[in-house]
Amino acid sequence: MPSYEIAVIPGDGIGPEVICEAVKALNALAPRFGFKANLKSYPFGAEHYLRHHEVLPPGAFDDIGAASALLLGAVGDPRVPVGPLEQELLLALRFRFDQYVNIRPTRSWPSAPVPVSLPEGAETDILVVRENTEDFYMNLGTSGNSRGLRAAMPVDRRLYRGEARVELELEPPVEAAFTLGILTSPGTLRVAERAFRLAEERGERVMYSATKSNALPHLYGFWDRTVAEAAKAHPGVKLKNINVDNLAYQLARAPHLFGVLLCPNLFGDIISDLAAGITGGLGLAASANIGDGLSMFEPVHGSAPDIAGTGKANPLAAVLSVSLMLDHLGEREAADALETAVETYLAKSPRVMLPYELDGGAPCQKVGDLVVQAIEGRL
């Protein structure tokens, strides 16, 4: 019987609430589909940070890295300054395990109202493929007094603005900040290649690549050229470049016209929240951070401190992240069964049994119980 070591970081806010329900679904699937899931939970997040004055203990990455997959809830807590948990835990995991592609599917679901009027019979089925280790997320920058900043500038100690070099104003000194967006050809090629393959598997004729090369031609012109290179090996899928601002507009108007959306890191972050909002809510948006080593599965949403502890969190994004994880582990039947169970639950439940996010009245734990009932064919 296949056996998987699953590392679990429930994290902060609604993270532990939704992960509890996701784990219930995983445990219900294992005996039915003949695999074993050995869970190892790590108490990292705000509590650990406040108690031990560190984000992660030494050796944590090595320990987590031995797992078959990592399931994460969310991090971030109002008691902790913004930054360390997001940078040194979440983003550090993506970087440390070189999880270079972030797959974020969103689609229409039964009982999930779409806040956009679609033509009769039309549905949404969007797959954001987000580059996950480069762009502005490299966090190479600084802020401070312009005198010191000029010394830290990477290029001839000057700022570039288009082709013109612009000296950073020194007198009088001003407060200023910069951060570098970096793209590399291997980094762009590997995520583009993955996006094209996913588009082919889905039978898409078109794939969109969303940038802002009109405003930032150095960075995103490079992306456009590199993605066009990758496109040559995939003649069955037509590559369409789109400005990301226009994509945001078009998505809000006619989301059913879009399928695979390849995005650089920062735009992919924003577009995936938008896609989630259009297709039923963040509580239904799952994601997979895929690398050649350890991959990580997590809801798109954060720790939602505004609803933590109220029972209002929708755990389905975490549940569906387990489906993405099972698919990655090769347990495709179990993965499909879980997605079907979520669909059955949403289709068959009266309003009062739906998550609060979908205007229902079922607390997080109840939603998890109903998904388990659907898995077991008792719904």
Query: Using CA atoms, how far apart are residues 1 and 34, in angstroms rounded to an integer?
Result: 6
Give the nearer residue to ligand IPM in terms of CB position, either 29 or 103: 103
Give the nearer residue to ligand NAD in terms of CB position, either 74 or 244: 74
Instruction: Report the candidate in 79, 96, 6, 76 with the shortest Cα–Cα distance to residue 42.
Output: 6
How many residues interact with ligand NAD (rule CB under 6 A)? 21
DSSP notation for 272-308: HHHHHHHTT-GGG-EEEEE-SS--EEEESS---TTTT
Of ligand NAD, Mn ion, ligand IPM, none, which one sits near residue 307, judging by CB under 5 to 8 A according to partner kind?
Answer: ligand NAD
Q: What contacts 72, CB < 8 A, 6 or more positions away?
A: 8, 9, 11, 15, 19, 90, 93, 296, 297, 298
Query: Using CA atoms, how far apart are residues 320 and 284, in angstroms rounded to an integer?
Result: 7
DSSP notation for 130-156: EE-SSEEEEEEEEEEEHHHHHHH-SST
Strands (E), the chain: 3-11, 36-41, 69-74, 101-107, 125-131, 135-145, 159-161, 164-166, 175-182, 206-211, 238-243, 260-263, 286-290, 296-299
Give the nearer residue to Mn ion in terms of CB position, either 134 or 269: 269
Among 290, 300, 313, 318, binds ligand IPM (CB under 6 A): 300
Known active-site residue 212: yes
Known active-site residue 306: no
Give the x-and-dash track for 301-320 against ligand IPM (CB under 6 A).
-x------------------
What Å distances lie between residue 351 and 113, 258, 279, 315, 318, CA to CA?
12, 29, 18, 16, 21
Among 23, 74, 319, 375, binds ligand NAD (CB under 6 A): 74
Known active-site residue 312: no
Residue in 24, 212, 312, 366 annotated catalytic: 212
Q: Which stretch binds Mn ion (CB under 5 A): 263-271, 276-284, 310-318, 335-343?
A: 263-271
Give the x-and-dash track for 94-113 against ligand NAD (CB under 6 A).
--------------------
Q: What contacts 11, CB < 8 A, 6 or more positions away?
A: 19, 44, 45, 72, 73, 74, 75, 303
Footprint of ligand IPM on 171-190 (CB under 6 A):
none
Among 12, 77, 134, 269, binds Mn ion (CB under 5 A): 269
Indicate whether 131 belongs to the interface with ligand IPM (CB under 6 A): no
Give the nearer residue to Mn ion in terms of CB position, either 74 or 338: 74
Q: What contacts 120, CB < 8 A, 6 or more positions away?
A: none
Angle separating helix axes 185-201 and 222-231, nearest 10 degrees? 50
Q: Which stretch binds ligand IPM (CB under 6 A): 13-21, 86-94, 245-253, 363-371?
A: 86-94
How many residues interact with Mn ion (rule CB under 5 A)? 1
Indicate whether 21 belongs to the interface with ligand NAD (CB under 6 A): no
Indicate whether 368 belongs to the interface with ligand NAD (CB under 6 A): no
Indicate whether 5 belongs to the interface with ligand NAD (CB under 6 A): no
Indicate whether 354 belongs to the interface with ligand NAD (CB under 6 A): no
127 contacts 103 by C-beta, under 8 angstroms: yes
State the nearest-atom distance from the C-beta of 128 to Mn ion, in Å: 11
Query: Using CA atoms, how far apart are residues 32 and 107, in angstroms rounded to an integer?
Result: 27
Residue in 42, 100, 137, 356 annotated catalytic: 137
Among 70, 282, 337, 372, binds ligand NAD (CB under 6 A): 282
Q: What is the dihedral of CA 198, 200, 202, 207, to 10 degrees?
A: 80
Of ligand IPM, Mn ion, ligand NAD, none, which one sits near residue 91, judging by CB under 5 to 8 A according to partner kind?
Answer: ligand IPM
Residues noted as catalytic: 137, 212, 245, 269, 273
Per CB under 5 A, residues contacting Mn ion are 269
Per CB under 6 A, residues contacting ligand NAD are 14, 18, 74-76, 86, 90, 282-283, 298, 301-307, 313-314, 317, 357
